[in-house]
Amino acid sequence: MAVHLVLKKVMNNDFILNSEYISIFEKNGVVLLKNMINKKWQRILNDAIEEDIKKPGPFFHSYKTEDGKGNFHGNMRIWEHYQGLKDYCTKSPLPYFAAQLLNSNKINLFYDQLFVKEPETKNCIRWHNDQPYWPIRGWPVISLWTSLDPISKNNGPMEFISKSHKWGKWYQPEHFAPGASKAYEQNPEFEKIPDIDSNRDKYDIISFDMNPGDLLAFHALVVHGSTGNISKNRRRRGYAVRYTGDDVFYSTDKGSHLDLRNPELENGNLLDSKQYPVVWEKDKNVY
Ligand SMILES: O=C(O)CCC(=O)C(=O)O
């Protein structure tokens, strides 16, 4: 028992986030955490992503490319089918990072999502905030996004409007690429996203150069998007894991993505379920 406690303390210290990171996340809705994912996890991600590109899991939703060049592979809920990703989402330090950033005693895995933009894939991801797409309500909700490729201006960095998570705005979901089959339900409580690209100088837009191993942590209501990968030879394999903190609950409100809904839950239920498992609890987990 004593040995276990000592081990627990050492590991906790290894993964304690600097309080400055937490303040930046709370203030701006996004923070870059440098060098957080070790090579072992990067290899696991690499293998699973290549496997998913070759043989996609059931929620595959390739986006049509804008000029026929490149390739944009999208998928989600992949952890449910690949042990390596399940381990990354549930047993890596990620849930503990989420707990610290969200100041929560319990963390549920909500889902994971892949966005692979091959070289010369000009598609942007339109400006949006995430939570209107999701059948969940409550404040402590976060994505931890990483890329297996170095990211800079030309190969599709994520962009964020700093502090927009506090605007109190929920924007009507729209598809990320033309040609998608089913439109999102309209929710009268959501509003149309403004034309940010035509007025970029009016917004505090921030983006980050990244290296493999870095993590971008962003709040579910921060407005964000990503630019196209216009490079001729650099890939951009982005992978996001979404986590929820204390008291987040299931919602059947209109507008959310059908593939993220959970038949086990009813409106107002806490999320604990097979699809959204508890992955970290204060005083119970090693990290
Ligand atoms: O990876 C991207 O290009 C977009 C990711 C995104 O919008 C998200 O993870 O919410």
Contact 159, 267 (CB under 8 A): no
- The answer to whether residue 263 is domain-embedded is yes
- Residue 205, pLDDT above cutoff 60: yes
> How is residue 205 written in tokens?
């837009």
Q: What is the pLDDT of residue 181?
A: 60
- The answer to whether residue 286 is domain-embedded is no
Report the percent of the chain where pLDDT is more than 70.
Answer: 94
Q: What is the pLDDT of residue 184?
A: 92
Q: Which domain holds residue 133?
A: 2-281
Sequence-separated (6 or more) residues with CB below 8 Å from residue 276:
108, 109, 110, 111, 244, 262
pLDDT, tens digit (0-9, with 9 covering 90-100), for 166-189? 999 999 999 887 656 678 999 999
pLDDT, tens digit (0-9, with 9 covering 90-100), for 28-56? 999 999 999 999 999 999 999 999 999 99
Beta pairing partners, 109: 243
pLDDT, tens digit (0-9, with 9 covering 90-100), for 67-122? 889 999 999 999 999 999 999 999 999 999 999 999 999 999 999 999 999 999 99
pLDDT, tens digit (0-9, with 9 covering 90-100), for 17-26? 999 999 999 9
**What is the CA(103)–ligand 1 centre distance, in A?**
23
- Closest residue by Cα to atom 3, ligand 1, is 226
**What is the CA(4)–ligand 1 centre distance, in A?**
38
**pTM across the whole model:** 0.94
- The answer to whether residue 255 is domain-embedded is yes
- The answer to whether residue 6 is domain-embedded is yes
- The answer to whether residue 91 is domain-embedded is yes
**What is the CA(239)–ligand 1 centre distance, in A?**
8
**What is the CA(1)–ligand 1 centre distance, in A?**
43
Q: Counting atoms of ligand 1 from 1, which one is nearest the CA of 115?
A: 1
Q: What is the pLDDT of residue 10?
A: 40
CATH number at residue 152: 2.60.120.620
Number of domains in the chain: 1
- Residue 61, pLDDT above cutoff 90: no
- The answer to whether residue 287 is domain-embedded is no
- The answer to whether residue 14 is domain-embedded is yes
Report which of residues 30 and 63 the model is more confident about: 30
Coarse DSSP helix, strand, coil percentages of the chain, rounded to the nearest 5 percent: 25, 25, 50
- The answer to whether residue 103 is domain-embedded is yes
> 178, 165, 190, 179: which is closest to 255 by C-alpha?
190
DSSP 283: T
- Cβ of 157 less than 6 Å from ligand 1: no
**What is the CA(226)–ligand 1 centre distance, in A?**
7
Measured between alpha carbons, how far is 262 from 134 in angstroms, rounded to an integer? 11
Pocket test for ligand 1, best of 118, 122, 154, 158 (most atoms within 8 A of CB): 158
DSSP 33: E
